[in-house]
Amino acid sequence: MNLNNTWITGSLDGQTMRAYLTQPAASGDTPLPTVLVIQEVWGVDEHIQDMANRFAMAGYQAIAPDLYSLGETPEALSLPRIGAVKRFLDTVPPQAWVDPKVRDQHIDKLPPDEAKTVRETLGILFSPRDNQRLVDQLKVWCDYALQHGRDVVSIGYCMGGQLSFLLATQEPRLKAAVCNYGTAPQESNMANIQAPVYGFYGGTDHRITDEVPKVAESMKKQGKTYHYKIYDEAGHAFFNDSRASYDVNAARDAWARTLAFFNDVLQG
């Protein structure tokens, strides 16, 4: 399928930001529902652009906001620098992802210049985020979607999954939200959710998945629609086919369920 791909710009509080936009070339001027594809911590890299393209090939307009681009993307968060960090993390044991001391031991083995840039980028990527500021950006892209199409749904992966769920607590125009292996919002914020939410999780991703039954109970208690699916053999980031974490069976099933979910909501 031929797609029309481009980068578009928006603004928040006088600062510019950008997003990747894609849609079927053959759709012409037909207004399309929009899928907001919300990035992992790695930014709008090839994987996130590919996911946006997949939604476009399914008949949607897809927008993948670059959440690091507000004002100006720091050099430390440029895609080449993040790519170098991903390659580094592929060479270290799993505990280095969560234990800064172990991570530093492996960074110290790198050549000095490389060690400096990897440590700087990791420091930013793994530092606390201002999620509210990121949601504010997503609201602007909801505005854009509704001005240039019809209806808007969201889906996110890891960090983006958390933001997709959080966006549902603040954006009443959202028709549906999908959270892939992201943490849920505070229970007190769930009362504001108007859209149905679907969560997909890896069974071995205990830090996030072990909380899912509590999330389901909280959503049920507040009368909210929450579906979830746990893939027992999959881990975190099972959707990312550019990483060792990719699980083809979980990804295939979650993709089919996501498309069916969006279709049911938008056709309802």
When the candidates are 3.65.10.10, 3.20.20.70, 3.40.50.1820, 3.40.50.300, the CATH number that belongs to 3-70+130-267 is 3.40.50.1820
Alpha carbon separation from 46 to 49, 179, 242 (Å, rounded): 5, 20, 9
Residue 236 known to be catalytic = yes
- Residue 221 structure tokens: 């208690």
Q: Which of 18, 6, 22, 8 is nearest to 58 (CA)?
A: 22
Provide the pLDDT for residue 97: 85
Is the four-CA dihedral 56, 139, 173, 43 of positive or negative sign?
positive
Place of tokens 């681009």: 69
Q: How far apart are CA 186 and CA 188, in angstroms?
A: 5
Q: Is the distance from CB of 168 to CB of 177 less than 8 angstroms?
A: yes
Q: Is the distance from CB of 139 to CB of 152 less than 8 angstroms?
A: no
Among residues 47, 179, 236, 247, the one annotated as catalytic is 236
Q: Spell out the per-residue pLDDT of the chain, length 268, in tens.
A: 999 999 999 999 999 999 999 999 999 989 999 999 999 999 999 999 999 999 999 999 999 999 999 999 999 999 999 999 999 998 999 888 889 999 999 999 999 999 999 999 999 999 999 999 999 999 999 999 999 989 999 999 999 999 999 999 999 999 999 999 999 999 999 999 999 999 999 999 999 999 999 999 999 999 999 999 999 999 999 999 999 899 999 999 999 999 999 999 999 6
Among residues 205, 227, 232, 264, the one annotated as catalytic is 205
Q: How many CB atoms lie within 10 A of CB 111?
A: 7
The upper half-sphere exposure of residue 61, i.e. CA atoms within 13 Å in the direction of its Cβ, equals 24
Residue 179 known to be catalytic = no
Q: How far apart are CA 53 and CA 5, in angstroms?
A: 8
Specify the DSSP element, H or E, that contains 67. Answer: none
Pairing relationship of beta strands 197-202 and 226-231 according to DSSP bridges:
parallel
Report domain extents, the chain. Answer: 3-70+130-267, 75-125
Q: Is the distance from CB of 181 to CB of 203 less than 8 angstroms?
A: no
Q: Is the distance from CB of 2 to CB of 26 less than 8 angstroms?
A: yes
Residue 45 known to be catalytic = no
Among residues 66, 142, 158, 247, the one annotated as catalytic is 158
pTM for the full model? 0.96
Q: Which of 59, 62, 67 is nearest to 50 (CA)?
A: 62
Q: How many CB atoms lie within 10 A of CB 187?
A: 14
The one-letter amino acid code at 200 reads: F
Please give the backbone phi and psi of residue 86, each rounded to the nearest 5 degrees, phi first: -60, -40
Cα-based torsion angle of the residue sequence 146, 151, 156, 161 in order, rounded to the nearest 10 degrees: 100
Q: Which of 239, 230, 242 is nearest to 204 (CA)?
A: 230
